[in-house]
Structure 1
Amino acid sequence: MIFESPSKGRLTFEQMFADLLQYLSQAPNDRYKLIIGTDSHTRHDTVLVTAVVIHHLGKGGRYYFHKSHRRAIKSLRQKIFYETSTSLAVAARLTNLLDESGFIDFDVEIHIDVGHQGETKDLIREIVGMVTGSGYHAAIKPHSFGASKVADKYTK
C-alpha cells in the first residue's frame, strides 16, 4: 500500500508509519489526534482515497493519502459502507502498530463522509454505530474534514 505525502513524497505503509512516529517524537508530551477518513468519486470507475492525518492539537499537523481505483460503485449506501470499512481497516493496522510502539490509548477518530444534509442522512446511525462499535470515535459532516476535505481533494 503506497501513501503520498505533500512534504515527503511517495511512501510505503511502513515508511508512512515511521514518518508519523518521527513526527510524534518531536514533541512527545503534546496532544495528538490520529484521523482516518476515506472519500470516493465515481465516473467510469470508483476512485477511492484514504487520508491519514496526524493532528498536533493547536499546532497543525501532517497528512498522507492512499489512492486506488476499483470497479464503479453505483449504490450510495454501498459506497459509504465501503469508504468506512476501508478507513476502519487502515485505523486497525495503525492502532496495532501504535500499541506496539508504546502509544497506548491513542486518540483515533474516523471521519465519515455523511451528514444531516443530503442523501446520506439516513445512513448516519448505522455508519456511526459501525465505527463506535469498532472502538473508534466517529466524526460526521461538518466535522469530518479528514474525509470531506483532505481525502476529497484527491478523488478528482
Structure 2
Amino acid sequence: MTFISPTKGQMSFEEMMEDILEYIKGLPCSSYKIVVGTDSQVRRETCFVTAVIIHRMGKGARFFYRKSTERKIKSLRQKIFYETTMSLEEGAKITEYLSQSGLEHLNVEIHIDVGRHGETKDLIREVVGMVTGSGFEAKIKPDSFAASSVADKYTK
C-alpha cells in the first residue's frame, strides 16, 4: 500500500522509511519519536487513514499517510478496534524496519482515537490494553494527535 508525503508525493513503505532515516541523519543529536495513528470516516464505505509521524522533539516533524476503504462499518466498537489494529500492524512493521537499521532504541507510539469524554470512553481500557500488550506506548485524546488531528484531516 502506498504512503503519501505532502511534500514528496506517493512513496512505498520502504521509501517512507528511508526518508525517515534521512530525516534522523540530518540532525542525529536530536531526540526522535515515531507516532502512528489511524482514524476513519463512515459514508457509503468506511475510509481509513493511517498517519506516520517522525517527530524531532522540539524541532518539528514530518508525516506520511495512507488511505484505504472498507465496507461500511456501523459499529463504533468495531471501527475503533479496526483503527487500533491498523495502527498496531503499521507500528510493528516500522519497529522491525528500525531494528534492522540499528535504530531499535527509537520509540514508536500508537495514538488511539478514543477519549474520556464521549461515546468511546468505555473502550479505552480494552484498546489501550491491546496497544501496551503489543509493546507500544498508547496515547488517547487529547494527546493522540496522530489519529485525532493528522489522520482525521485526510479522512474528509
- TM-score, normalised by the number of residues in structure 1: 0.99
1:78 aligns with 2:78: yes
**What do residues 68-102 of structure 1 show as CA deviations (whole Å, max 9, x unaligned)?**
11101110000000000000000000100000000
Matches within 5 A, 1:62-101: 62-101=62-101
- Compute the TM-score of the two structures, normalised by the length of structure 2: 0.99
Q: Does the residue aligned with 1:130 lie in a helix, a strand or coil?
A: helix
Runs (4+) off by over 6 Å: none
* C-alpha displacement of 1:7: 1.1
Structure 1 residue 105: Cα displacement: 2.4
Check if 1:134 corresponds to 2:131. no
SS in structure 2 opposite 1:4? strand
Q: Note the residue ranges of structure 2 that are not aligned, 5 or more in a row.
A: none
Residue aligning to 1:49 = 49
Residue 12 of structure 1 corresponds to 12
**Aligned counterparts of 1:28 and 1:102: Cα–Cα separation in 2:** 13
- How far 1:114 moved relative to its partner? 0.1
Cα distance in 2 between the residues matched to 1:147 and 1:62: 15
Q: Which one is further off, 82-91 or 12-21?
A: 12-21
Shift of 1:149: 0.2
Residue in structure 1 matched with residue 121 of structure 2 by the alignment: 121
**Structure 1 residue 29 and structure 2 residue 29: aligned?**
yes
**One-letter amino acid of the structure 2 residue matched with residue 14 of structure 1:** E
Query: Higher mean Cα deviation, 98-107 or 32-41?
Result: 98-107
Matched residues in 2 for 1:105 and 1:16: separation? 19
Two-structure CA RMSD over aligned residues (Å): 0.6
- What is the alpha-carbon distance in structure 2 between the residues aligned to residue 118 and residue 14 of structure 1? 37
| Distance in structure 1 (CA, Å) of the matches to 2:51 and 2:37 | 5
Identity %: 60
1:148 aligns with 2:148: yes
Q: Give CA deviations for 1:14-44 in whole Å, capped at 9, x if unaligned.
A: 1111111111111112100100000000010
Question: Which stretches in structure 1 are left out of the alignment for 5+ residues?
Answer: none
